[in-house]
Structure 1
């Protein structure tokens, strides 16, 4: 694998890492909401560079009707949607839409801690239930705090929340090194008979791999033969050589 491609992908991670504390250094710790919105905006800008023109990004809500009752999502940080469909409401990047055009959902967190992870994953799971055509339902955290991810000790809150998610939340990025991906039976390895969450420690590439998996999920027919660019780890088995553990999900 060409070293330059891996270095290019690492620059995306470094860009996000560099801006991680930029606003905090100026406004201090008193305005976490503004810092979070800034980081959402930066992540949107990076993702938008790679999206096909028929897909757009917004923040907002999904509304659907079931059995004569309206159901509404919680506010979603990033919605990627097919822009050839009409929206219910659109003002700037704030949107309200029905599920048909939703292709991906992302929750963005400045930092994610063990005590918060159950609520975060559960909220993302509930939003995903309202968007059955969404192929990518992710959680992107710039930092993680107090979450052990080791083969010998996997954070219990994270483990239990992923069991309960049952694959609805299918991609997680916890800081610049930890990437988690859900694989259905047979997708990862023909010898694996279980659905699994795979945990990877990919130094400075977790942000990049999160975005690359997003692009592949929302536009698979448009990235054929681009795996050399999307997944550039220069090891014999790619990111599998950085596998920490597989967590089977029944």
Structure 2
């Protein structure tokens, strides 16, 4: 799925000027290169955080279907339990990293999947919006919180790459007003050292090849995964966008 998101992000960002201000409904984002600095992620402490232990323990009670290196969330019970584990996580660095996939990520389009990486537990979840629809956002866990309330909570930082279309789609389709958003695309723009280079936004593929220190093996794996995604989703390679809504029997 990540390769599809990368391709769409490249198409959206190509040749467009970088914004000088953040749109109103995006929540707080960091765009000021004079005040924002990239700091390394600190090493985990030797003693395990009790809140993380409880989060992992709660998820271990779920029957999660493993898809590749991810876990599928496609029932109200599963989304309720997952929501419980997303509370009380560390906020510096952020714990939640999200990406949205669909045939048309727009206000009047559709959302098929939300990919969620929970950094402290190093687990990735595929939240099946095509199956769950609005219940993915409105089902409360045992602590009374919903996934929508987490997305709208300014105190819980969420990291996206290029929040523009996902924000529009979530607001238009599910009346979700995002808050607490850190947009990696804007961060990359803000931290470029040459002022003249800040005229255009970079897509995710450009950022991966330019900013990540990938070894030859990792780079080959990334390119292979991207190529597989293109063959699945792009008509010129015999694929189609509708495949993202197909589910195994």
The TM-score with structure 2 as length reference comes to 0.25
Which structure has more relative contact order (CA 8 Å, sep 6+)? It is: 2
More helix per residue: 2
Higher strand residue share: 1
